[in-house]
Structure 1
Amino acid sequence: MSASSIHFSFELFPPRTPAGAEKLPAVVSRLAAVGPAFFSVTYGAGGSDQEGTYETVMRIAEDTGIETAPHLTCIGSTRAKIAALLQRYRDSGIRRIVALRGDLPATAASAAAPGEFRYASELVRFIRETHGQHFRLEVAAYPEMHPQAPNPDTDFENFRRKVEAGADGAVTQYFYAAEAYFDFMERCARAGITIPVVPGIMPITNFAQLTRFSAACGADIPRWIRLRLEQYQDDKQALLDFGLEVVTRLCRTLLDEGAPGLHFYTLNQAEPTLRLWKHLGLPVR
């Protein structure tokens, strides 16, 4: 794969505080300087309101001129609401969407939450039915299995349904064992799935935070990494250096073995991702 065909992207979330909102433009400016293919902006944890996503998407696109993709989640929503959001994004010039099932709203019990969509595949199909090929649709992939899936085969079948519904590409949950990604790609090949599946990359900067995130999303922290992080948790610089070494090696392995790009979970910070960028020798476009 040529360097020009490899695409890199950065994920951000809508700022939750005035301080976060004040800081975000500088973060975006630093990340934009290396020339990502696109930014994506999350919906917000626990099914929070979409307005913050819309405002953040439009500001990033306007400030940088770089394509920016909103995360669009369907759980707990209705066809009318999703249709209105899609039209709003289309009217605003958005051409890429990350289509997800999403989390249940924090205030709603799972059995009682309203909504006309149960799965992301239904959302993808609805977007294709209502907007054809206007939007490029990215979906989620889980090399280590979605935490709510009953088994790996069921989880992979859910992914296959999203592809058949019309997904153009996928971004994975983060992982630290390259073999998980390669195994997933072998399963895709056997199933005839050819869309690009981009590895999601989480820089390591905080042991407690990483442990909490990983427990929530089902991402495995290999024992040898966990033990080293535990050892360094009171030595910030040692932890950062070790995390950089681990994730740089992971990224190099993925790219050397044919991954179509990397999608960085920035957590609204520029420095951890840009350190990785520098160590990987990635181009500034």
Structure 2
Amino acid sequence: MKVTEHIERANGKTLFSVEILPPLKGQDVNCTFKTLDPLVELQPAFIDVTYHRQEFIYKQKENGLLKRYQVRKRPGTVAICAAIQNHYKVDAIPHLICGGFTKEDTEDALIDLNFLGIDNLLVLRGDPIKTEKSFVPESGGHAYASELIEQVTALNTGNYLDDDLQESHKMDFCIGVAGYPEKHFESPNLGMDMYYLKKKVELGADYIVTQMFFDNQKYFDFVKKCREMDINIPIIPGIKPLTTFNHLTSIPQNFYIDLPESLAMEVLKAKDKEAIKEIGLEWCINQCKELKAFGVPGLHFYTMSNSSNTKKVAEAVF
């Protein structure tokens, strides 16, 4: 079922959904099931599975020369989505990114996803890898999420890269895109970021999932700006609890967002790790309750494959 259909059928009720990482190379699917088993009890509407680009590593050969190797630490997004849908009968949503894919690779991936009965995608440009100062598109691929959306919408109308195909099958993917209440870190300002978001919606995006935030007013202002720009598709807030002292620096550094001063000061004054965790969970629970009262279509939790914190928050909210 499409995400938009889930929202329509909920009839105003706030949906619960989660995002997980694929298992590390060398692990099996049971690692994913172990993460999801406690969360599936709470009946998520859908489960997102991230995709990770290939990284490059250098290893010294016997002759002393360095050789570059491509590695992917977390392969298997498509297969994990198929396993989730088969095992739990819950809609799984793969992340589809620009980086590392030609247009032909993308079309092949979409054909596979269509064969598997996967109805939804989260379409993203993707982040630069560690060896890139800025994002570098694949030769013969896409540089922007908007271009990737265009390819998906073309397949939704039966237009493949091979122009000679006759009476080709039309796909029917529901397309999700990312939104940034505090703007994308590469955007010069929020206005420009909103301009590109509107472009993605005009090209066929069906719903928006936001980057995590810890100040609900940022989300409320973001929704208001969207509606003023005639961006009227569902906007699902992305949520993550702060649970460790290191999160004070790692979350702003990795996700380019601000932490409210009152939350940060509470964490600084906390006596131990358990107290920090309780502060973060209580903040997240209150945040979710306020969002739910506001009437958000769903609460989407970034679990990072740690289900226990998400479950504690969700049980207190839903």
Q: TM-score, normalised by structure 2?
A: 0.81
> Which residue in the other structure is 1:24 paired with?
32
> Which residue in the other structure is 1:214 paired with?
252
Q: Check conservation: 2:98, 2:142, Cα contact below 8 A.
A: yes
2:205 to 132, 144, 167: 167
Task: Give the aligned length.
Answer: 280
Q: What is the one-letter code of the residue matched to 1:65?
A: K
> Which residue in the other structure is 2:281 paired with?
244
Q: Check conservation: 2:14, 2:295, Cα contact below 8 A.
A: no
Instruction: Return 5+ residue gaps in structure 2 as ranges.
Output: 1-6, 56-70, 158-170
Q: What is the one-letter code of the residue matched to 1:181?
A: Y
Looking at structure 2, the residues matched to 207 and 20 of structure 1 have their Cα atoms a distance apart, in angstroms, of: 31
Describe the SS at the equivalent of 1:69.
strand
1:57 to 81, 88, 95: 81
> Which residue in the other structure is 2:15 paired with?
7
Please report how far the alpha carbon of residue 186 of structure 1 lies from its aligned counterpart in structure 2 after TM superposition: 0.7
Residue 45 to residue 268, structure 1, CA distance change in 2 (3 Å): farther
Please report how far the alpha carbon of residue 131 of structure 1 lies from its aligned counterpart in structure 2 after TM superposition: 2.2
Moved more, 248-257 or 100-109: 100-109
Q: Does 1:262 align with 2:262?
A: no
Looking at structure 1, the residues matched to 106 and 260 of structure 2 have their Cα atoms a distance apart, in angstroms, of: 39
CA RMSD, aligned part only? Answer: 2.3
Deviant stretches of 4+, over 3 Å: 1-5, 17-23, 45-51, 105-113
Q: Check conservation: 1:43, 1:72, Cα contact below 8 A.
A: yes
> Which residue in the other structure is 2:95 paired with?
71
Residue 242 to residue 3, structure 1, CA distance change in 2 (3 Å): farther
Identity between Structure 1 and Structure 2 (%): 32
Looking at structure 1, the residues matched to 28 and 306 of structure 2 have their Cα atoms a distance apart, in angstroms, of: 10
Q: TM-score, normalised by structure 1?
A: 0.90
1:122 to 117, 137, 147: 147
Residue 235 to residue 46, structure 1, CA distance change in 2 (3 Å): farther
Instruction: Write out aligned runs for 1:71-90 (5 A).
Output: 71-90=95-114
Instruction: Write out aligned runs for 1:143-182 (5 A).
Output: 143-182=181-220
Instruction: Return 5+ residue gaps in structure 1 as ranges.
Output: none
Q: Check conservation: 1:12, 1:42, Cα contact below 8 A.
A: yes
Please report how far the alpha carbon of residue 45 of structure 1 lies from its aligned counterpart in structure 2 after TM superposition: 6.1
Describe the SS at the equivalent of 2:301.
strand
Describe the SS at the equivalent of 1:173.
strand
Looking at structure 2, the residues matched to 53 and 127 of structure 1 have their Cα atoms a distance apart, in angstroms, of: 18
Q: What is the one-letter code of the residue matched to 2:50?
A: T
Write the deviation string for residues 231-274 of structure 1: whole angstroms up to 9, x where unpaired: 33x61221121111111111111111121110000111111011
Describe the SS at the equivalent of 1:215.
helix
Larger radius of gyration: 2
Q: Which has the higher helix share?
A: 1
1:42 to 50, 73, 77: 50
> Which residue in the other structure is 2:160 paired with?
none
2:268 to 224, 230, 242: 230
